[in-house]
Each structure stands twice: as structure tokens, then as C-alpha cells.
A and B are shown apart, each in its own frame.
Chain A
Amino acid sequence: MSNVITFENVSRFYGEVLGVNRVSLTIPPGVTSLVGPNGSGKTTLMNLMSGLLRPTDGKIEVLGISPGNPERLCKILGYCAQFDAFPKGLTGYRFLYSYLRVHGMSDAECDARTRAALELTGLTGAADRHVAAYSKGMRQRVKLAQAIAHDPQVVVLDEPLNGLDPMARAEAIALFKQWGEQGRYVIVSSHILHEVDRISDQVILLSQGYVVAEGKIQGVRSEVRDQPMQILVRCDRPSVLAARLFQDDHIVEAMIRGDGKNLLLRTKDADSFYLLLNRVILESGLVVESVAPADDDVNSVYQYLIGGEGGTA
């Protein structure tokens, strides 16, 4: 069995409308975020991965299993889809239990897994209430519970934070991180970029059906060469540092900010900047408290590559 999820030159068209085009990806274990504006192909990619859609062209494998083989795939994959719909007349418990029975599990196993999933998502108290009477946040949680009840290795979550209150959102994020650390494949799509940033081991940026960038966010940022990198330096004499830095060509901009000890600068060549900073420290005895990249987050990369602001909470 392969230990990655692969897309090889995958395209999907809805009639003449493009869903995704010539997507080639490798998704390793951990948390992977799909980021992109509405209609960029995030849900299409997730539906293709989980076998709900078939590619028009190309090949997909999820840990060596083709999505065209649901009997094998759905044992290792759980999908929390975007649709806010549930079979009528079922309680939270019965909803999870019934679909676990379709997996072919025994009554006792279904019961145990249902209770465990409800507990994990904080729905034990509402287990006997009809799903139709749940709040939006509870419906989102019961969908999460349904996606993970069979303990899948691959968890695909389409906008899983939608409708969750801040507390539940924090708990969900912690859960995703925990699954990622356990070696599961957690694929999350979200508009809430600063939260994606907190949990992602890697990101896939999509725009208009194409993969714009993929990989670890810092790596992706460093590949965006036409946008100077922003670096925040906190030191005792930022004006001295700024004056010295401007002697080099790659420094585009420098601004003193906050309490007068923060220097935000933009450079076309981060490696040269770090070498220069070392020299300045040695030459002038500058006391530097911290040096940190200021725009290697998802939001910045999103703005540079796709344009516009990413969503916020």
C-alpha cells in the first residue's frame, strides 16, 4: 500500500465548465489545507478524492486505492461533506449507528463506535435528539462524528469549521492537529485562513481549477519571488539598522513600527539579508531581540498568488 494520496494530471469538467484542470499532487500524512476562493475547485478535489465524482481525465490513488473502488476506499476514508442535509427522522445516535451498520459492523461495535464519536465531538448529551432539531454548530459536529466514526486513516473535511462557535472551533482545530500528529491524512478546506495557518503542515492553493502552489507554507512563500519578503526585526536601534540596510540593493522598504524598536523591512533576497544582518550586528554591536518573517503565512501567500483578502472568522 502506498503511503501518500496522489493526483496525476487529473481534470474534471462539468459539461463545458471546468472543475479542476491537470492537477498533479502528492499529499503526505499530516494536516493539508486546501485554500482558494469560491469556485476554485476545492470541493471538486475533495469529491474526486472520496469517489463521489470521477475524473474526466487522469488518475487518483488514496494510499494505493482507486476512488473507483468504494468497498476498499471507504474503509480508510471519512468525508465530512459541505451539504447540510441529513436523512429525516433520525436522532444523532441513530444517524451514526445506522451508517456504521451499512459498513457491515456488528451491533456492539456500531454502538461502541457511535458513542465514542459522539463523545469526541461533544454530542453525547444530544445523542437522543433528532438531528433536525440540532443547531447549525451541532449539525456540523454530527457530520464530523459521522466522518470519523469508523476510525479512518484519511479524513477529508470540507469547510469543517463553518457554523462552529469559537469554543467548538478551537476544539475541532485541536482535534485535527491531533489526528495529523497521529499520522493520519487530514485534508481540510477552509476560508478562515488564519486558522488554516495554525493547523496546516502543508497547503494547496487553488485558483480557477488550477493548483497555484503546494507544499509547506514557508516553502511556498519563498517561491513567490516577485513579492519581496517581509521580515520583522526587533532591536535597540532600528534606525541604524535601516540606514545600513539601505546600502544594499535587495532591500526595498524599511519601516519603523510600534514602540520604535520594530523594523519591518521588505527584501527581494532573504538569504542576503540574513548575511547582511549578521555583519551589521558584528560591526555595530546592535542588540537584536528577534527576527521573524512577517508574511510567510497562508493569508499573505493567498494574497500574493490569488489576490484579494482571505476570509476571516
Chain B
Amino acid sequence: MLDFIRRILWLTPKFFAVAVALFALYAQLLPKDDRRLPLFLNSSPGSASAASARALDLLVQDKPEARAEIERLGAFFVLYAIPRQSTLDLETRARLLEALRPIRERMGLLPSAERASRLRDETSEDTLFWTRFVEERSLDFTAQARARTIKRLLTDRLHLKGDDLRVLDTYALPALVDALGTVKSTADAERVRKLAAAIARLVDPSFALHDQPTPDEARETASRIRAYWDRAGPDFAEHAPLDRVYQSITQTEFLIWASRVGRWIIGMDQSRLAERARLDGAQSGRLYLTSVLSAIVLGPLLALALTVRALGRAERRRSLTRRLALVAILALMLGAVATSRLTPALEVSLAATLAGLTSAFVLDRELRERFDFRMTRVLSRRRPLARAVAVVNNMAPGIPTLLPLVLLEALVIPLCLPGQGQPTGFRHSLVSAFRSGDVEYLMLLSLSLGLATALLQIAADALLNVFRRRLGELR
């Protein structure tokens, strides 16, 4: 009993180790799409100040992409660059103020038309404005003030329509994304609508939701925003020296994948894999389950029938029966592989027969070694029921031994069947996942199968212990 408790407790660390190893393997071997971060340890985690320093460097070098990058970083760049503007030459400073103008517009802080007409020198006004802005508003750019502002947006009792939030600009983004939370009710959907509107204004207009979205629509948008934030978030992160250690682990491909899976499991995010798994399950899942059940139920029954029959007959007939079984396995395997157009009913029956025969093949071979010539001679003179009892007694330990192995053997069958030419099913998904480098799908498939194998193995070993004790008692 203690052994099984220990084995169950070991499942978590074992699966963590297996997940790390699998992730490393898949990420190294498969084609890369948007994987840019280190896999497990980021020695230089991203931060707002690092991203701002890069953007300022681009501006100094007068690179064309500098303006877009500065606009993307928004308030974070302002807080970084304005205190350093005195170190820049006059030309760069003018470019800096020019680049900051869209941010000021986004904050809603451009001078009125009347005031603008009275200004003689726009550059001096900009310089003065940003210097004063950073000095006077520095207390607004703290985590506490930011949280308070977002709370005000969500309650909106003063009907401010988020004006104070506009001034915070991108500084509000991390807290806005955090506040999205889980969407279950219409109240949650309304919260996401308000937050998504603020995020869309700063990042991408496509994140905006229409009035009165349904919870499903809101969850889908929140999932898209969080998927964007997984990649973009590090450029808007502020950290104290100790946070650096934490972020060197969190800003990695593995942790991004793990947090996505975690959000999917607790129902925060909609996963694209869920829809794909549903489609695959509709086609191949049925075949797979049929194969597993057939291997566990039909296989032993077939092995029992074959052996009981063989024990009552002559040696020559017995080997002929087995030879026929072998030929049937081969013929069905070939039929499964070579035939491209099968009706669903034929596919299921083919899967059941093939899995049953494969399992019967293994058990039958195992049984053959257990009945030596003495036992065969004795049993051949007994009634079929007595022979069946003897066969069941000898076959019993074989079934739990086979259980965890069957999960993989059965998977071969849906992978063999071409699936009526439809672009769904395990085979199609597996091939396209390999081609496109879809690590998430492969990890999901691998870990689900691994977990199922582990649990089945623990249960099977518990059953085997019962048989082992029984065998011990018989001796």
C-alpha cells in the first residue's frame, strides 16, 4: 500500500521532469515560429527600462523604426527618456520630442487649438511640458495609484470615463491585463469589455469588444489579449533586483507554455487546442477508445477461446489456428493501411478486430509458454469448462501486465487509418503539428498519454500484487 502511495506522490515530480525533457526535445527539433525566448532560463530578462533603452538607442541612430517602437512603449519610454534628455544632442532631442507627440495625443494632453496658436516655439513647449509632466505626475506612476485608477474604471461611479487612465497610458497595461481575470458571468463580460477597450486603444484596436458581449465572446477576447501579453509583457515589466531572478524563469518558453496550459485547465482561457481536440476526438477518439477496449476485452476473450480450443485438440491443429490468427493480423493491418476509403462503421469494426487480434496474439503467445506438455496432456482430457478455468488462472496476471502497454499499441490503429480523407483526426493533427512545429499540441498529446499510462500502470501493478500473492499462496 505504501509503495502505491509513494508512486502516486512521485507522479508530479516525474511528470515535471518528463515535461521539461519533452519540451526541450520538441522545441529543439521542430521548426520555430514565434519562439524567441530561451527555453528554460533567461539570463537577461526583458524589462521596460531595457526596451526603452533600446528604443532610445534606435532614435539616437536615427533608425526609421524608432518612432513606432517609442509609440508602442508609451509612458514607460517617457519615464525613462525624459530624465535623460539632457544627455542628448539638440538634434536628437528634437527627434525625441517629435516622437513623443503621438503619446501625448494618446494621453489627451495636447494643447488646445487656441493655446497652440499662441505658442511661438512648439519644441520649447514640449520640453517644458514633458519635464513638468514627469516631475508632477511621478506619484501617479506607482503600482498603488495604477491599481486605484483601474478600480475606478471598473466601478466608474464618478463617470470619469477613464480620463485618468488615459494619462497613465501604457503604464496601466500590466494591471489592465491582470484585471481581466476569469469570465463566467455577464458581469465579468462587462468588466472585460471596459478593460479590453482601454487595452485596444493602447495596443491593437481589434481587441475592442462591442457593447453587451456574451461571456464566451469576452473570454475569447481575454484569451487573445493574454496570448499577446505572454510575448509582449516583458517589455512592460518593471522589476526590482530580486524580481530579476523570478523573471529569468518566468520569461522563458517553458513557463509561457506552462502558464497557458494552467490558464486553460482552470478555465481562464479558451484554448485553440480544445477545439482541435474535440474535432480529433470526434473522429479518431472513437477509433482509439474502441481499440483500447477491444484490446482489453476482446483480446483476452479471443486468447481464451483459442487456447481452450487448442488444448482440446491435436498439436498440429493448434499451431494452424495460431498461424491463421497471425495471417489475419497481417491482412487486417495491410487492409487498414492500404485502403483509403472506409465507411465509419467499417473503420470502427476494423479497429476493434485489429486491436483485439494484436492483444490476443500477445496473450496467446504468453499462455503457450505456461502450458507445458504435461499440463497440455492433462487438460486435453478435461471438460472445456475446466480447461477455461485453467486458462483464466494462467492468463490473469497477463492482463494487468498488458494494460499500460495497450495504450500505445492501440494508438497505432488510428494512426494507420487514413480517416476518409478528412483534414481531422490524430494522424492529420500529428503530421501537421510536426510540420508546423506546434509544440503545444504535441505536449498535450504526449503528457495526456503519459499520465494515462502512469495511472493505468499503478492500478495494474496493484492488481498484479494480488495475483502475485495468490501465486505465492498456491506454491
- Are these two chains actual partners, yes or no? no
Q: Which residues of A contact B (CB under 8 A)?
A: none
**What residues of chain B have their CB less than 8 Å away from a CB belonging to chain A?**
none
